Chain A
Amino acid sequence: MSRPLSLSDAQHLLRRVAARGTREEAEELSAMGLEEAVDRLLRDPAPAPPYATRFARNQRAQQHREISLLWIEHWLTTPTPAAERLVLFWHGHFTSAFQATMGAQGVDFWNQFAMFRRLGYGTFGDFLKAVARDPVMLLYLNNAESRKEHPNQNWARELLELYTLGPGHYSEADILEAARAFTGWTVRLKGGLNPREADANVPWEFTFRPAWHDPGPKTFLGQRVEGGEEVLEVLIAHPQTYRFLSRKLLRFYLSPEPPEAMVEEGARVLRSEGTRGFLRWLFTHEAFYHPSFRNSLIKGPLEYLVGLLYAAGIRELPADSSLGKGVYQALAAMSQIPFDPPTVAGWEGGPTWLAETPYLARLNLITAVANQGKSLDLFVFMEGGKALADLVKPEAQLL
């Protein structure tokens, strides 16, 4: 039997979890009750449409715009929007930036997001193993070029610092040893094609080159290892990995300063029940609905934009329409272009979203949305939202 879920709690749940919704959708969730509503939101993600481009391999800026708008369009139309907000979380965690990933195409990033969607709710171990073999990641953090003679440390360092343990739980020597373990983990074009003869829709795939690999023994976090698989196993077994992720997920879904007890409990749930189990635990937790945690997060630009477009009834963003172009420019001005986090640590978020320049861009979007001439349903978008003028209130920025 589901516990009751008030309309106001349903509104909060829908905004937080999916970043989009209507009054009708909130009413449906409320009628289901808490557990059922949460399970409904956390259903298996609907796949995104396939992506293929007519642009060439070197026309990357055009591809970047296409996949950015296609993703937002998918977030606006999918029956499982909660999965897309989670994809955004993983994108900010397992970062890769289009601009900085030479050679990678739109299709490679599109495939990476499909992997985030497929594995994002599952156990962290399976997910991490897939990320370590993800062509975009191997190219972005230069492991694709790492050879035994001179291992490239970029991937190994960020794997430890940003993706699993966090600073303070490893040494410089651990980074060197991990870098050696991952030598030979590289990419090739599907079918062994040469980039010069392949069109932009031929993706990269993982391949292991034994000749580039350093097979000698290594000591990683006090354990003897040889290859990258074993490094990953050590990290997957490490309790700090789950503490680090639990805190980060709670900062994304609960509060900028989550209570320590919840970080600890969340780490245990994450480890034993995977990310979906963690989210189910959190969204059915009393604390999640406590007044001190409601409206305590600041919407990121993508969340703001998706929520606003959805409230305005906009579901399509053709890449060459003026709306599509305007949306892409607005994201740049608000400091969040998809597939392009500013640094390998992702988006800082919080109050930085409302520095003068990005805040101004949000306000200027109101006029663009008003000019679409559709009716606005701001019930889920913001607490107390009724009419266009409410969008200038501080409450419009809260998640």
Chain B
Amino acid sequence: MDRREFLQKSLLALALGQGAPSLLVRTALAAKTRGRILVVVNLFGGNDQLNTLVPYRNELYHRLRPNLALKGKEVLDLGVRGKWLGLHPALRPLMAMWEKGELALIPQVGYPNPNRSHFISTAIWHTADPDRRAQTGWLGRWADGQEDPFCETFLGGAAPLALRGERRTAPAIASIDAFTLRLTPALQRAFEEEARHPRQGTAEEIRRAMLSLRGALDRVGRLRTVKNRAQYPEGAFGRSLADIARMIAGGLESSVYYTTLGGWDTHANQPPRHEELLGQLAQGLAALREDLRAIGRDGDVLILIFSEFGRQVAENASLGTDHGEGGLMLALGPGVNGGLYGDEPDLEDLSLNALKYRTDFRHVYATALQWIGADPKAVLGAEFTPMGLLRNAGS
């Protein structure tokens, strides 16, 4: 929020008898709103790298995918910087970012001993531990060291493992507008009263959930008047991104926003479904960037997109693809040093019909952690060199 907006809100608060924030609080607030933000989009189901970042000049690609391959004239050519690969046409809204050097494409991202189960692979990405010993999420571990419970926010029904720490789990807000408690004043008082009395066992776990909910109602309630300044695509994913922009504009002050878009498990009839999903993704991201520009926060935000694995190379008989290994990650924002961070896929060097992984996702995570000023080694448990994805790393 800018200075004028801030003063107006303070005056409003004063008028409502809530007291104006002290100078100290205001200074802290101002310092924090300049902070950097990480937005993570988790594509659940396994996005098909080969039809997202398309090696359309490779004759083998067309041979292995007689029905699924995109034709050369359909794809959006990425030129010499993109090694003449192409983007799926539904990603057109991202092309301006590519031209401006604000879109990084990282192909064949994965981890050692790939697991092709959605759930195991997702858990590995979320814990950042391919050995599957960690019980907490990578961002949850970072949040454990933060004061504010809203240092990270999940847009959806319940926060995923990535946002679960030892101390707490990120607040889950599916929709700012629907986040209202509708109880009679008497029941509301009873709720407050019950939340004050500690209990044992599972009942105590639930009392803590009551306390989190009460805190979230206070913080999110204030955001309802914040308006979007861009047009988002229809659907839950577009609404989540729109709410992220409102949360940033309204001063929720999370350093991390996390949301998901499901439906990428395209074992059958892939082309129309994949096109629709990529369209939702690209239109949503373009709207979010536009909205952030309108409030002067675009430069503070790094957006990271991943899926638990890519899909197999040769198509199956149902016009679809089965679970693979290495997959595509995207990073975007003015802080990003755009370009292709890898090579054209080698379709002759496969692992059980899948692209092998070439980049460990933890190097990308290290970069994202660097962006929000976190210590990658402390969070990831080992040294992973951040990739050179950022324009001014560490500043």
- Residues of chain A whose beta carbon lies under 8 Å from any beta carbon of chain B: 100, 102, 141-142, 145-147, 149-154, 157, 161, 167, 172, 176, 292, 295-298, 333, 335, 342-345, 348, 351-360, 363-364, 366-367, 370, 388-389, 391-395, 397-398
Q: Which of B199, B207, B209 has the most chain A CB within a 10 Å cutoff?
A: B209
Is the beta-carbon distance between A167 and B158 smaller than 8 angstroms? no
Q: Report the bound CA distance from A145 to B203 in whole Å.
A: 48
Highest count of chain B CB atoms <10 Å: which of A100, A292, A393: A393
Chain A residues lying within 8 Å of B159, measured Cβ to Cβ, are: 355
19 A-B Cβ contacts within 8 A? Answer: A142-B267, A145-B318, A150-B317, A152-B267, A152-B317, A298-B202, A333-B174, A342-B262, A354-B205, A354-B206, A355-B157, A355-B169, A356-B179, A357-B158, A358-B157, A360-B179, A360-B180, A360-B217, A367-B183
Which residues of the partner chain A approach B316 to less than 8 Å between Cβ atoms? 146, 150-153
Contact code string B20-41 (vs A, CB < 8 Å = 1, else 0) = 0000000000000000000000
Nearest-neighbour CB distance to chain A for B213, whole angstroms, equals: 5
Contact across chains for A357 and B117 when beta carbons are under 8 A apart = no
- Does B181 lie within 8 Å of A364, measured CB to CB? yes
Assuming the A-B contacts A172-B116, A354-B209, are A150 and B181 also in contact, with contact meaning beta carbons closer than 8 angstroms in the complex? no
Q: Is B315 an interface residue (CB 8 A)?
A: yes
In the assembled complex, which residues on chain B have CB atoms less than 8 Å from the CB atom of A395? 203
Check B323–A157 contact: CB distance below 8 A: yes
Which A residue's beta carbon lies closest to that of B182?
A364
Is the pair B317, A149 in contact by a Cβ cutoff of 8 Å? yes
Q: How far is the CB of A158 from chain B (nearest CB, A)?
A: 9
Query: Within the complex, which residue of B178, B182, B190 is in contact with A392, where a contact is CB–CB below 8 Å?
Result: B190
- Does residue B286 face the partner (Cβ distance < 8 Å to A)? no
- The answer to whether A398 and B206 have CB atoms under 8 Å apart is yes
* A-B residue pairs, 7 tightest by C-beta: A145-B318, A355-B158, A394-B206, A150-B317, A352-B158, A335-B157, A355-B172
- A102 to chain B: which residues have CB within 8 Å? 269
CA distance A357 to B181 in the complex (A): 10
Contact of A363 among B120, B181, B204 (CB under 8 A): B181
When chains A and B are docked, how far (Å) is the Cα of A203 from the Cα of B154? 40
Q: Does B15 contact A (CB under 8 A)?
A: no
Judge if B118 is at the interface, Cβ distance under 8 Å.
yes
Provide the bound-state CA to CA distance between A145 and B178, in Å.
Answer: 41
| B320 to A: closest C-beta gap in Å | 7
- If the complex has contacts A167-B120, A363-B181, A392-B191, are A358 and B203 also in contact, measured as CB distance less than 8 A? no
**B268 in contact (CB, < 8 A):** yes
- Residue from B116, B187, B213, B265 within 8 A of A359 (CB atoms): B213
Residue of A nearest to B354 (CB): A172
Is B119 close to A, CB under 8 A?
yes
Give the one of B44, B179, B269, B318 with max A CB within 10 A: B318
